[in-house]
Amino acid sequence: GFVTAGFVVGDIITTSGFATSANNGTWLVTSVAAGKIIVTNTDGTAASTITDETAGETVTVTSSADELVIGSTERSFAILERHTDIGADYVYRGCRVATMNIAAPLGDKASITFGMLGTKAEEYTVPVGATFAAATTTDMMVTTNGSFTEGGDAITYATEWNATLDNGMEAAFSLFQREAYCITNGIAVASGTMSAYLKDGTLWAKVLNETETSHVVVLEEGADSYTIELPKVRYTQGQKQVSGPGAVIPQYTFSAGYDGTTTMRITRS
């Protein structure tokens, strides 16, 4: 039932319940049939530690198809831009996501902004008979719903949270070519800012002591949610700006580190 259950090539799956401990782990799916999944290690190397077992154990196979982590898989696509009022269409080829910013402002809609890099832009003629999906009508997520956990503790006094992922990509050009030769990869860096009322000295102490912590932000709308996790966070800077007798709301600048698996994880449910 693997096909019916929705497993596809490229999924990262986790197995548990095997009697042989080496068969329990996280794997990359390279082939899916009704009764058979073929896997490698998550980096694409052969899963040489897997061994045959006698049937009988109760085994659980979980897919992380709804989970995104920073990785090294190169994905590119084309973006079609249409101006139907003047009958002009353009296509941007070899596009990759270079940066991503997630913004959770106070009492407003949450937003995600992507910075794109492409190799070529040109005029485009849409094929006769082409159809396009209608715009979605799903309600947007707002920051009056959801939660924020800092260092494992629920924080109810934050006023703003922003996180940026920069993949460090650059367009590489060559002689006698207008379009980019390729898009080069760099080192992914996750960072951001957070504002919160100064209710006690807990957060400010982490700035002074450079204490490692973590961030988990949940955005919700009805039954839908996104969970954004930064597993290793340090506050690199803190600022207190007070103009009068009002509440003190320091702004914290943070940087996220690699925990052996990822620097940022986004889970959809």
In angstroms, rounded to a whole number, what is the distance separating the alpha carbons of residues 213 and 254?
10
Nearest to 77 by CA among 64, 66, 93: 93
Predicted TM-score (pTM) of the model is: 0.76
Q: Is the pLDDT of residue 89 over 80?
A: yes
Helix (H), strand (E), coil (C) string for 139-175: CCCECCCCEEEECCEECCCEEEEEEEEECCCEEECCC
Assess whether pLDDT exceeds 90 at residue 5.
no
> pLDDT per residue over 119-132, tens digit each?
999 999 999 999 99
Phi, psi of 204 (to 5 degrees): -65, -30
Residue environment code for 79-99, b if the CB has 16+ CB neighbours within 10 A, otherwise e: eeeeeeeeeeeebbbbbbebb
How far is Cα 169 from Cα 119, in angstroms, rounded to an integer? 12
Residue-wise pLDDT for 192-248, tens only, equals: 999 999 999 999 999 999 999 999 999 999 988 999 999 999 999 999 988 788 899
